[in-house]
Amino acid sequence: MGNASNGSVGSFPGKGRIETLTDGIFAIAMTLLVLDIRVPMLPKEITAIGLEHRVFILWPKFLVYVLSFVILAIFWVSHSIQFHYVRRANRTLFYINILTLMLVAFIPFSTHLLSEHIEQQFAVAFYGSHLMLIWVCEFLHWYYVTTGGRLVDSDIDPHEVSAVTRRILITAVTYLAAIAVSFFNTYLSIAAYGMIIVMCIMPGRIDRYWDNGKQ
């Protein structure tokens, strides 16, 4: 694919500005996750509960921390791959990205909600719905930049576009199914969220394009 300028005098700010902001928001969101993990303070009169027990009862927070951190990493990879293809930027792309980052920055809250109420269906469904919305934004972003070659090279391989589109939509629909499971069993729903992570990390058709050097 040919290269185009990320910005020039008199042109709209380039995609580099978006990528810089994106990396910063993801880094902050991933860092804030760990601040939710604190050893509970007990009244002085309670001395029978040892430190090891107080750490052990934090297992929901550790579980959801790992889950959210890896999910954020997957979102960051997905966003980075999309911007690999973007050659130009415009106002609409900026605002689509702002919407995505607003949802990303909110992940520490939904993570805290789930870790504090891991057995409650609302918390599990809220968490999954939040993640699904980010994937919807990822689809919106990808659809916007690739439709008619709007902000990508005109010779982009349509098979690559289709591969990325399918992967995003399948992930979003799978989250919807996992949310539905929460109405029957919250722990099974959380396990489904974990399986989605495995599904996202496993190599797919788009990875084969990259492995073959078709970038």
Answer yes or no: is 178 within a domain: yes
| Token pair recorded at residue 34 | 């760990």
**Is residue 28 included in any domain, yes or no?**
yes
For tokens 């190599």, the residue is: 203
Residue 123 falls inside a structural domain: yes
Segment 192-212, tens digit of pLDDT: 999 999 988 887 666 655 555
Report if residue 80 sits inside a domain: yes
Task: Answer for the pair 77, 210: CB distance below 8 angstroms, yes or no.
Answer: no
Distance CA 4, CA 88 (A): 7
Tokens 């001395």, located at residue? 47
pLDDT tens digit string along 152-175? 888 888 888 888 898 899 999 999
Quickly count: other Cβ atoms within 10 Å of residue 24's Cβ: 11
Which of 64-68, 78-82, 177-181 shows the lowest per-residue confidence on average (mean pLDDT)?
78-82
Q: Which range of residues forms the domain containing residue 153?
A: 15-211
Here the tokens at position 165 are 């589109």
Is 4 among the domain residues? Answer: no
Residue-level pLDDT at 109:
95
Q: In DSSP terms, which residues pair with 157 in a beta bridge?
A: none
Of 54-58, 95-99, 119-123, 128-132, which gets the smallest average pLDDT?
A: 54-58
Classify residue 131: in a domain, yes or no.
yes
Q: Domain tally for the chain? A: 1
Task: Give me the percent of the chain exceeding a pLDDT of 90.
Answer: 51
What is the rounded CA–CA span in Å between residue 197 and residue 192? 9
CB neighbours of residue 43 within 10 Å:
6
**Residue at 2 is within a domain:** no
What's the Cα-to-Cα distance from 82 to each of 49, 124, 185, 187, 211, rounded to whole Å? 50, 29, 35, 32, 16
Choose among 86, 78, 79: nearest CA to 151: 86
Q: For the purposes of burial, counting CB atoms within 10 Å of the CB of 100, is it exposed (0-12), middle (13-18) or buried (19 or more)? A: buried
Task: Convert the pLDDT of each residue in 13-45 to its tens digit.
Answer: 677 888 889 999 999 999 999 887 776 665 554
CB 186 within 8 A of CB 120: yes
Q: Is residue 9 part of a domain?
A: no
